[in-house]
Amino acid sequence: MLDMSGTLDAAVAAEALAGLGRSPKTLPAKLFYDAKGCALFDAITRLPEYYPTRTELALLHATVPAIARRVPPRSVLVEYGASSEDKAEILLEWLQAPAAYVPIDVAAAALAALRRRMQARLPVHPLVADFLRPLVLPREVAGHPVFGFFPGSTIGNLEPDVAICFLQQVRDTLGAGALFLVGVDLRKDPAVLIPAYDDAAGVTAAFNLNLLARLNREAGAAFDLSSFVHDARWNEQEGRIEMHLVSLRAQTVRVAGHSVRFEAGESIHTENSYKHTVGGFIALAARAGWRSAGLWRDAAGLFSLHLLTT
Ligand code: AVI
C-alpha cells in the first residue's frame, strides 16, 4: 500500500526484511508497483526493446475475430489484473452481445475509473481483490457463460508451482465449461530477451532501483541508490529472465531499524519472468485441469495467446 502521508508502512517493511534476511537476498516483485513504479512500467511497455506489449496487442487485433467466434453469445468477460481497459476493449468489440465485464485488480481507484468509462456500454462489476487468492464471481453474473482473460504475460512472473495453483483457482472461479485466454511470452534468443529487460534508455534499471527508493520512502530504509546497479540475466536452466540489484561495494544498510549487510557484488533477486515454450505452457495448464482449445502466435514466434477450456 502506498502511504501518502509519508509515514512508514509496516507491511512493506516486514516483507522487505523477510526477503533481505534470506540467502540469496530477495525482494518481492509486487513491491515494484507503487505510483512511481506503475508510471515506469507504463514507460517500459512503450520501449523499442520491450516487444511483449506491442506484440500481444498486434496479435490480439489480428486474431480477435477468430477468438470471438469461439466464445458463446451473452458471455461475461472476466479480466485478471485489469487496470486499464485497452485489451479487454478489443475483445468486447468482437464478442457477441457480452453480458457483463468483471475486471479484477487490487487497485480500487483504477477499477472505479474503469467502471465509469465502460458502464455506458455494458454492466461492469469490478472485483477489488488479489487474484492469486481464491475468488467468487459477483452474483449478478451467475448463469452466464464465462470467458476469462489474463493478458500481458503476467503468468510469466509466477513461479511454476504458483502458476499451477493460480490456474486451478481460476478454473474453480470460472467454473466447468469456461474459456480462458492467456497471453504467454515465448522462449527466445537471449540476445532479444536481455535488452527487453535492460534497455538502452535505462527505464528498466530505474524501475528496478525504484524498489530501493520505495523502501527508503516507506520502510525506513537508507539505501544509497548509487551503490546498486540493475542486472538482467537469462537463466537457461530455469527458462527465465531474472532481475537483480547488485551491490557495488561491501556495505551495511539500515532497513526499518535493522542492519542488513551486503558484500561487494552481492545481489538482491527482485523478479523472475518465465519464458514458456508452447508445449511447456500447455503441459503446465494441463496440470491445473485446463486443456488447449486454441493457440495463436505472431509471425516471428515472440508471443502466444492460449485459449484454454476445462
Ligand atoms: C508485468 N510483467 C509481465 C513484466 C515482465 O515482462 O515480466 C514486468 C517487467 N519487469 C521488467 N520489465 C517488465
> ipTM of the assembly?
0.99
Specify the pLDDT at position 110: 87
Query: Is the Cβ atom of 270 under 6 angstroms away from ligand 1?
Result: no
Query: Is the Cβ atom of 155 under 6 angstroms away from ligand 1?
Result: no
CA–centroid distance, residue 143 to ligand 1 (Å):
35
What is the spatial distance between Cα 243 and Cα 229, in angstroms, rounded to a whole number?
Answer: 11
Specify the pLDDT at position 5: 43
CA–centroid distance, residue 71 to ligand 1 (Å):
29
Nearest Cα residue to atom 11 of ligand 1? 197
Low-confidence spans in the chain with pLDDT less than 70:
1-7, 83-85
What is the grid cell recorded at 9? 508502512
**Candidates 30, 157, 274: which one to mutate for ligand 1, based on the most atoms within 8 Å of Cβ?**
157
Reduced to 3 states, what is the DSSP secondary structure of residue 287? Answer: helix
CATH 3.40.50.150 region(s) of the chain?
51-188+279-309
Assign domain 51-188+279-309 to a CATH class.
alpha beta
Specify the pLDDT at position 85: 61
Query: Is the Cβ atom of 199 under 6 angstroms away from ligand 1?
Result: no
In degrees and rounded to multiples of 5, residue 120 shows phi and psi of -70, -20
Query: Is the Cβ atom of 271 under 6 angstroms away from ligand 1?
Result: yes
Query: Is the Cβ atom of 197 under 6 angstroms away from ligand 1?
Result: yes
Closest CA to 243 of 281, 212, 221: 212
CA–centroid distance, residue 243 to ligand 1 (Å):
10
What order of strands is seen across the sheet that includes strand 267-274?
A: 25-26, 267-274, 240-247, 228-235
- Listed as own residue / partner, the contacts of 1-9 with beta carbons closer than 8 Å and 24 or more positions apart are 2/34, 2/35, 2/218, 3/218, 6/217, 8/218, 8/219, 8/220, 8/256, 9/218, 9/219
Specify the pLDDT at position 82: 78
**Candidates 30, 32, 38, 41: which one to mutate for ligand 1, based on the most atoms within 8 Å of Cβ?**
41
Specify the pLDDT at position 6: 53
Question: What pTM, to 2 d.p., does this model score?
Answer: 0.95
157 CA closest ligand 1 atom index: 7
- The pLDDT tens digits for 71-108 are 999 999 999 997 666 899 999 999 999 999 999 998 89
Query: Is the Cβ atom of 153 under 6 angstroms away from ligand 1?
Result: yes
Residue type, 119: Q
Residue type, 19: G
Nearest Cα residue to atom 3 of ligand 1? 154
Closest CA to 135 of 88, 93, 170: 170
CA–centroid distance, residue 200 to ligand 1 (Å):
16
154 CA closest ligand 1 atom index: 3
Specify the pLDDT at position 264: 98
